[in-house]
Chains A and B, each alone.
Chain A
């Protein structure tokens, strides 16, 4: 450990592992440390099942749960957008070759107490029970407009400048009602709240395009999920970092981040050992005095021995409950994966209900999500603080990631990573630095 590094990364959550990989690939000498003896931090998948039960102080699972080691339960639920940033990162860095994925079978949205499939193309829109007949036609026209829209080609804008006009304006142009706006903004564009309505429409158009491009890639839904759980993702990027020379130490407590002149970081200390460095990249848990609480997220892990009603027995789904449907400011997310993803024993399903906390009684806030699940065999609730760094790290050269938000996809995660990388290195990540040959892997 007593060496000098360009960067020391603390914590092996997904963001830190992606950063570590990018830094190593860029030729930086990286030391990557975690205080835990496993990879993943907050984004680990817990195995065996007994470990999950004891983590939440529940009595050990009985034999109906099958073999404990067949379970890999995520602490933070998320899906990958098939055409999203994380998939781009995975493919460009070659990390995808360590992982296998499955498409999520369906994407649903909640309206008036029941759930309906999110319509994504014209055919589905016309068949959907979310809208009346005339509204369907208006929505269809809207979808065609978005699909044909090209940022560079003003002809496709149809007399509507999406960079000066807001999204509400675009909805109004097509005469879409509040319900349609609701599932478009929240289930297609994946906004957490309604602030986007007042923002330039271009952002929302691009998000809807991402949704439909993702859908076009693999079918049934725009989402992917890795076999064996999300915990595989940080491990994959950690391997990338190691292949490019990154040094890994787990089970290594960090006692101090050592500062030098002007409060600039010069190293980290563990016991009597000090590793010198020019920069530190870390998650909020390593620097409690350099982050502030932004919000709280409630997540409820539910173990089910049946699929969710009204999803055609889907083996994986996402359900979005738009805020307005249940009188809230932020959406409630439900994600479901199952034994077919090697995250549960045969016949079992894992549902996660999560949202940003708005009241002093967070558990009752997620009730609309829990009510969709049917009988729940076991429930684990956690309320965690969501932290953000108090500064941009330019002075201290300590670059801190934000906690994982309540969204069920990784777009915000990747944006945070790319932002931090840019802050730390003063440049955008150059994907061409990943050697194409990567040893001899490619045949």
Chain B
């Protein structure tokens, strides 16, 4: 397994036979400043900024993950700050096949908020959505306010993937995306419950994130 660069064609392991490419929409949710953008930046570009600005910025980034026989291309959506005043548009998680709900292990409130996001997703998003819970800033263990066991128990109860991550040290960042990639259905028949047969309008039409392999 490997994570390849975001630009250009999907990288394939040397000499491997043609793999199928699956594209998925993945959304990030969580309280402001828990490290959503930092996780994406670490995953997509391998970088970390101590003074990451509150997100306004890219609409979505893409990153490719290679599994044994499949290349998984994530279309990663960041909230663009709309969640700050609880004003996130439902369109944001519409058709998403995966979500990472992030909290900050040094802040109990953000864990409570994360639970609300999980509820919201279970209510509103596609029934087959793969949800991962990320306890971020695990490098700040000294200031920990949310116990690993508590979060793990909650994740088990709700059938979520769970990892404690650090965008700063990169611990578990690639791993959580890989775990999601592994859990996503990669056959044509098991779409993300997303739109059937809609099209995007751009002139050079990008492939849509329909959940099925191309």
**Could you tell me which A residues sit within 8 Å of B by CB distance?**
38-39, 69, 87, 90-91, 94, 96-102, 224, 226-228, 232, 235-236, 238-240, 242-245, 247-252, 340, 342, 438-443
Contact = CB atoms under 8 A, between A and B. Distances in A.
B120 to A, nearest CB: 13
16 contacts: A91-B203, A96-B200, A96-B201, A96-B202, A97-B206, A99-B200, A102-B197, A228-B195, A235-B89, A239-B92, A242-B56, A242-B82, A250-B85, A250-B87, A439-B61, A440-B61
B62 interface: yes
B196 to A, nearest CB: 7
Given A97-B202, A100-B198, A242-B56, A232 B87 contact: no
A443 B92 contact: no
Contacts of B82: 238-239, 242, 248
Top-9 shortest CB links A-B = A439-B58, A100-B198, A235-B89, A235-B91, A248-B87, A242-B80, A227-B198, A250-B87, A96-B201
Contacts of A342: 195-196
Nearest to B198: A100
B86 A440 contact: no
Nearest to A248: B87
Contacts of B92: 235, 239
B124 interface: yes
Contacts of A247: 81, 84-85
Interface in B158-202: 195-202
Contacts of B56: 242-245
Contacts of B87: 248-251
Given A87-B201, A91-B202, A39 B59 contact: no
Nearest to B80: A242
Given A248-B82, A342-B195, A441-B58, A232 B94 contact: yes
Contact of B85 (A87, A248, A439): A248
B208 interface: yes
B201 A90 contact: yes
A243 B59 contact: yes
Nearest to A218: B199
Contacts of B80: 239, 242-243
B117 interface: no
B81 A238 contact: no
Contacts of B201: 87, 90-91, 96, 99, 101, 224
B6 interface: yes
Contacts of B84: 247-248
Contact of A249 (B61, B85, B198): B85
B91 A98 contact: yes
Interface in B48-65: 56-62
B208 A243 contact: no
Given A91-B203, A250-B85, A227 B7 contact: no
A227 B95 CA distance: 10
Interface residues of B, number: 35
B15 interface: no
Contacts of A99: 200-201
A366 B24 CA distance: 45
B195 A438 contact: no
Q: Which of B58, B62, B87 has its CB near the most chain A CB atoms (within 10 A)?
A: B87
A122 B206 CA distance: 34
A387 B6 CA distance: 49
B90 interface: yes
Interface string B41-52: 000100000000
Q: Which of B6, B58, B81, B199 has its CB near the most chain A CB atoms (within 10 A)?
A: B199
A94 B59 CA distance: 10
A224 B200 CA distance: 11
Contacts of B197: 102, 340
Nearest to B201: A96
B91 A239 contact: yes
A443 B206 contact: yes
A440 B62 contact: yes
Contacts of A240: 59
Contact of B61 (A102, A239, A252, A441): A441
Contacts of B208: 100
A235 B89 CA distance: 6
Contact of B89 (A69, A238, A244, A438): A238
Contacts of B195: 100, 227-228, 342
A283 to B, nearest CB: 17
A438 B59 contact: yes
A348 to B, nearest CB: 15
A248 B6 CA distance: 30
Given A228-B94, A247-B81, A441 B198 contact: no
A232 B59 contact: no
A438 B58 contact: yes
A252 B86 CA distance: 11
B7 A243 contact: no
A226 B84 CA distance: 27
